[in-house]
């Protein structure tokens, strides 16, 4: 039986451990916190799952596959509310996404601004060209989904060790012990550049989320999640117990993941509030429920990393989730497991090394100046 050590039980590591043990590998998962901990990038309340990726077909396919795999894991982890895209241009990201989705025969609807307004109890559409609705999309319960992956991996026989591991050549140091396996995968999110400083380069940024109270008429799944790509804002309807979410997708200031403040920067909350006031006028006085922080671990081109270490052939680096990785995790784990088993070649776009700068896979961040100021 082939053996694997996966370090990091965020959504990337948890999904891979679950996949490998499901393919009869002997799996040890090492995590410094508890799975779903809010200090990790996969912790916290919710993540959107959308298939639109502009003109990028492989990521669109990956999200479609992941949609199915999340439902197979547990349909209660997915809020099937759809995602509405607020298009400001006829020929922007939304139009490109629509073309790819139609090519893949995925359900998608182009609505006039007035038709789009009917999806929400109140929506300002005076600046929109159209609204693109993805019905097979929605919201994942993030911390719950991460824990569910770890729980299924353990049910299938994986071992979970709680410890901060350190690389020791191709082995893994856990306290006084050296662990070895046929494959060692470091899926350590924003901690990867600290663990492998000469190999992994990521920009770790402080991000903030605003969760508002809203009347029941704003509840998902009746009301969709939403993205305003050109404005760099996204969110979702009322999802209990969390609330109505609004957040900026624009890169925040750099931050150390180990000392990230728990609360979102005030400017990020103000930006979310201003957008809600403008786009959903009925929520102008909605009280805040919470304002958690999070961090992105971004590559230069926002494509992920899954690549062998240049000096240790059994050691793999897995991360660079770049603010949009959550939804893809189970589909990406299928690819990673196939590569580790020798059934597939690693994807060139996930390789280490120089990347051409770009943010096209994310919903924003394309060159705008981060509005939040220095990290607290
Ligand atoms: C505000 C916000 C909104 C987002 N919205 C979306 C969205 O709508 N849709 C979407 O798809 N994605 C979204 N994302 C991105 C998504 O959350 C991330 O892409 C994903 O969670 C990254 O997972 P990961 O496993 O790579 O990292 P992590 O979850 O950080 O996992 C890495 C794990 O490694 C552990 N670790 C690190 N070092 C060690 C060590 N030495 N020993 C042991 N364990 C270690 C850490 O504790 C951590 O648990 C969002 C992210 C943020 C912050």
pLDDT in tens, 2-54: 999 999 999 999 999 999 999 999 999 999 999 999 999 999 999 999 999 99
- Polymer length in residues for the chain: 376
- Nearest CA to 148 out of 87, 70, 47 is that of 70
Question: Are 169 and 112 within 8 A, CB to CB?
Answer: no
161 lines ligand 1 (CB under 6 A): no
From the CB of residue 361, how many other CB atoms can be counted at a distance below 10 Å?
Answer: 19
Write down the pTM of the prediction: 0.95
Q: How many angstroms does the Cα of residue 193 sit away from the middle of ligand 1?
A: 14
Q: Is the CB of 94 under 6 A from ligand 1?
A: no
Pairing verdict, β 159-162 and 26-31: parallel
Across the range 189-200, mean pLDDT stands at 97
Kindly state the DSSP code that residue 245 receives in the 8-state scheme: E
Kindly state the average pLDDT of the residues 155-165.
Answer: 98
Q: Is the CB of 321 within 6 Å of ligand 1?
A: yes
Please give the helix or strand (H or E) that residue 143 lies within, else none: helix 142-155
- Candidates 41, 64, 150, 324: which one to mutate for ligand 1, based on the most atoms within 8 Å of Cβ? 41
Question: Residue 370 above 50 pLDDT?
Answer: no
Is the beta carbon of 323 within 6 A of some atom in ligand 1? yes
pLDDT confidence bin for 373, thresholds 50/70/90: very low
Q: How confident is the model at residue 363 (pLDDT cuts 50, 70, 90)?
A: low
Lowest mean pLDDT segment, chosen from 90-94, 224-228, 265-269, 362-366: 362-366
Tokens representing 188? 């350590």
The whole-number pLDDT of residue 331 equals: 98
At 355 the pLDDT is 84
Ligand 1: does its nearest atom lie under 6 Å from the Cβ of 292? no
- If residue 116 lies in a helix (H) or strand (E), which one and from where to where? helix 113-117
- Ligand 1 pocket check: which of 29, 30, 40 to mutate, most ligand atoms within 8 Å of Cβ? 40
- Using the mean position of ligand 1's atoms as its centre, give its distance from the Cα of residue 100 in Å: 27
Tell me what the pLDDT averaged over the chain comes to. 94
- pLDDT average, residue stretch 52-81: 97
What's the gap in Å between 191 CA and the centre of ligand 1? 10
CA 74 to ligand 1 centroid distance, Å = 20
**What pLDDT does 360 receive?**
63
Percentage of the chain modeled with pLDDT above 90: 92
Closest-lying ligand 1 atom to the alpha carbon of residue 40: 30
- Concatenated DSSP letters of 62-88: HHHHHHHHHHHH-GGGEE---EEEEES
- 257 CB neighbour count, 10 Å cutoff: 21
Q: What is the pLDDT of residue 357?
A: 77
Mean pLDDT score, 75-79: 98
170 neighbors 184 (Cβ within 8 angstroms): yes
Distance 151 CA to ligand 1 centre (A): 17
Percent of the chain past pLDDT 70, that is, above it, reads 95
Tokens for 48?
């959107």
Q: Please give the average per-residue pLDDT across 203-231, as a whole number.
A: 97
């Amino acid at each position: 039986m082939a053996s694997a050590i996966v370090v990091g039980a965020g959504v990337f590591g948890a999904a891979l451990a679950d996949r490998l043990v499901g393919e009869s590998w002997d799996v040890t998962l090492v995590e410094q916190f508890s799975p779903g901990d809010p200090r990790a990038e996969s912790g916290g309340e919710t993540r959107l799952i959308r298939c639109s990726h502009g003109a990028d077909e492989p990521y669109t396919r990956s999200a479609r596959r992941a949609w199915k795999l999340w439902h197979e894991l547990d349909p209660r982890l997915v809020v099937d509310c759809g995602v509405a895209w607020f298009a400001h241009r006829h020929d922007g990201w939304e139009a490109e996404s629509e073309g790819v989705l139609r090519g893949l025969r995925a359900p998608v609807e182009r609505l006039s601004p007035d038709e789009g307004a009917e999806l929400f109890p109140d929506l300002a559409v005076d600046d929109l060209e159209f609204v693109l609705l993805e019905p097979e999309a929605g919201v994942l319960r993030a911390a719950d989904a991460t824990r569910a992956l770890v729980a299924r991996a353990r049910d299938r026989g994986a071992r979970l060790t709680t410890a901060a591991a350190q690389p020791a050549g191709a082995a893994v140091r856990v306290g006084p012990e050296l662990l070895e396996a046929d494959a060692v995968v470091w899926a350590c999110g924003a901690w990867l550049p600290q663990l492998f400083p000469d190999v992994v380069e990521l920009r770790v940024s402080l991000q903030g989320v605003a969760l508002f109270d809203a009347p029941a008429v704003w509840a998902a799944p009746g009301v969709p999640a939403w993205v305003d790509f050109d404005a760099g804002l996204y969110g979702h309807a009322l999802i209990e117990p969390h609330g109505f979410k609004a957040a900026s997708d624009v890169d925040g200031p750099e931050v150390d993941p180990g000392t990230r403040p728990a609360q979102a920067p005030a400017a990020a909350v103000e930006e979310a509030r201003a957008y809600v006031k403008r786009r959903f006028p009925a929520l102008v006085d909605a009280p805040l429920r919470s304002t958690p922080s999070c961090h992105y671990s971004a590559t230069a081109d926002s494509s992920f990393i899954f690549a062998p270490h240049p000096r240790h052939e059994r050691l793999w680096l897995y991360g660079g989730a770049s603010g949009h990785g959550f939804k893809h995790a189970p589909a990406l784990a299928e690819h990673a497991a196939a590569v580790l088993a020798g059934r597939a070649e690693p994807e060139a776009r996930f390789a280490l090394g120089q990347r051409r700068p770009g943010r096209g896979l994310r919903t924003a961040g394309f060159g705008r100046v981060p509005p939040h100021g220095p990290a607290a």
